[in-house]
Structure 1
């Protein structure tokens, strides 16, 4: 039988891969009435009704940044802040941030902006140290590490040029998530409003599980600290599994016995699965 993708719950979610529906990160803004346009390269741009806030989804770009969000004082002004997510970021993280943007627009769009243009302090505002985070003295700027050492928050505490931050050349806040070789990044500039910075921090560090459809070989590519628990497929996933299984059974026996055939699918009743030990 083919190695059919099966639904798994991956925890913590910041160690899940980015192979999920990107449209879920756009949905909160579209549901709030934001306008969407798409260019010929497949990039999507979503703009708030007041034309001051915008989100870009950039699968057609050459760089690693997949998502950009920003806002300015009016439709013609340059952005006051910039948030980015790279192409390995779990889309659920981006969706948390876009949900916050949609809520801001629905209640008071003026809170898009940091009216005082002040930089939020890490110790006082994010309260990471009280949650078991530790300060790493070995880096040239402030670096906070999560208790599991898999999330690093780098804070540049030196003056930064606003133009350089808006160009993406530097950033005030850099989240680095995952073990070596499997790292994804999110960034935020100095003037991001405090409440949105808190949303971003919570979204990046949320340990709750997310669902991914994975094959046996995919489980081996999860970070060692991730766990994969088989979950019951929804009706659409179940239909796909049945269809794939039916097709495999209809193959001639010579094909099924081929040495190149992939292993059988994992049993639905398997217990929680560490990365290196798929059932």
Structure 2
């Protein structure tokens, strides 16, 4: 029997923060577009989505150097340097980015005070307390303030020493660093010091949400999932169901046509024939 190619099929991957990044990224920018933000592209193929007042921007950077794929920032006015910066690397599941952009779009519609904050400073105490309430543990063995999820697959590192704002906006350092996945299969998200508390909480929820997501994968791709992830095949798609039914119908029709007649027909038979019935990593924009 000849070898047949391994066809992709749908799986439900849980938790979602262990799913791969190979999924449709268009939903990551949809909340911003719905809020009136405008898209553009550079000559290299990178995509930018900018707020109407030019105070906030998302950049999708598949052609840039390094691992950072998404940069999201906001500033007090169109000519000011960014007030805060959030980044996601190229292995981040796009559903995580979409949850954060949904929160940002909602904040944007409420005005600058919602997405820039009052004095521009965030303490993060409420966020850390929420993690402890969710049974996260504090890890004293790192040079940072580190919180670890119960499954030990998500770690939040917080720099408690002074950090220069210019260095954060350049991407040279960060106040908040999420490290997600087992060793060798880690992806990262970062946030700078002045991200408003409610957006930091939205980012934390997006990163740590264990809800399953769907992926179209080949069997060989499953070998690259972290061992801690579960991959459950979903029900056959409507196209697969139609193909199975069509193949079954052809098989039954063929078997029936090969059966010998047991009695002579009383009248000349009508012509017999086969049934003729027929069944009637990419840019996010």
Q: TM-score range by the shorter chain?
A: 0.7 to 0.9
Please list, as runs of the form range in 1=range in 2, the aligned pairs for 1:35-114 lying within 5 A after superposition: 35-114=38-117
1:91-145: CA deviations, max 9, x gaps?
Answer: 0000001111111122334311032232323466552111110011110110100
Q: TM-score, normalised by structure 2?
A: 0.81
Deviation at 1:239, TM superposition (A): 6.3
Residue 158 (structure 1) aligns with: 161
Residue 137 (structure 2) aligns with: 134
Deviation at 1:240, TM superposition (A): 12
Equivalenced residue count is 242
Deviation at 1:23, TM superposition (A): 1.4
Larger radius of gyration: 2
1:231 aligns with 2:234: yes
| Unaligned 5+ runs, structure 2 | 248-285
Match for residue 182 of structure 2 among 179, 187, 190? 179
1:158-197: CA deviations, max 9, x gaps?
Answer: 1110000000001000000000010000000000001100
| Unaligned 5+ runs, structure 1 | 247-279
1:144 aligns with 2:121: no
Secondary structure of the structure 2 residue equivalent to 1:187: strand
Structure 1 stretch displaced more, 198-207 or 215-224: 215-224
Match for residue 4 of structure 1 among 4, 7, 13? 7
Give RMSD over aligned pairs.
1.9
In the alignment, the residues of structure 2 paired with residue 212 and residue 192 of structure 1 have an alpha-carbon distance, to the nearest angstrom, of 31
Secondary structure of the structure 2 residue equivalent to 1:128: helix
Secondary structure of the structure 1 residue equivalent to 2:30: helix
Q: 1:194 to 1:31 in 2, by over 3 A?
A: same
